[in-house]
Amino acid sequence: MNKTMLKNTLLATLLFSTTHVTLANDAIFQVAVIKGAMGTADITKGEVALGIKKLTTSESSKDFYDRKMNLCVAYLQSTQSNKTESACTEAIDSIKSIKRQSSKVRYLTSLNYSNRGVARYKQNHLSAALKDFEFAVTIDNNPITAGNLQKIRQFLPVNKVEKIAVLSD
């Protein structure tokens, strides 16, 4: 897909982003999907397998950013959670390719890092999850990313958070 089409698709979907709450190891985090995009209705209704099927079989939208972001969240809520981190990373890489860093692009980038943080938390990769949540907040300190960062800090022992923070400096 050319970059102009990617930008147009991204900008068209920016206004329709929505959040969805997911359960990850007894901690409730928010994840974001693109409202109105392929698979969103299925994911938000809990019909995750159907959403994944639509997102993975549609050749016409395989390279679209919104498909990658929604697939990340769908895998997170499915029995195929081993595919989540790579799907989230694909969404991050896709949005990074956009040169124009508007506030909307920064917002979506932060949501993608936050989504991947939830995936990493669910896989018990706590230091990587914390790093993603912290990075998401530095990109765009919105209620979703800030809330997820606050929640992971509540679930990690204080000495673990301090140790991770020291390692990341």
Segment 107-140, tens digit of pLDDT = 999 999 999 999 999 898 999 999 999 999 999 9
- What is the gyration radius of the CA atoms in the chain, in angstroms? 15
Give the CATH number for residue 40. 1.25.40.10
The number of folded domains in the chain is 1
pTM for the whole structure: 0.78
What's the token pair of residue 41? Answer: 């209705």
DSSP element (H, E) containing 31: strand 27-34
Whole-number Å distance between alpha carbons of 76 and 71: 8
CA atoms within 13 A on the CB side of 45: 9
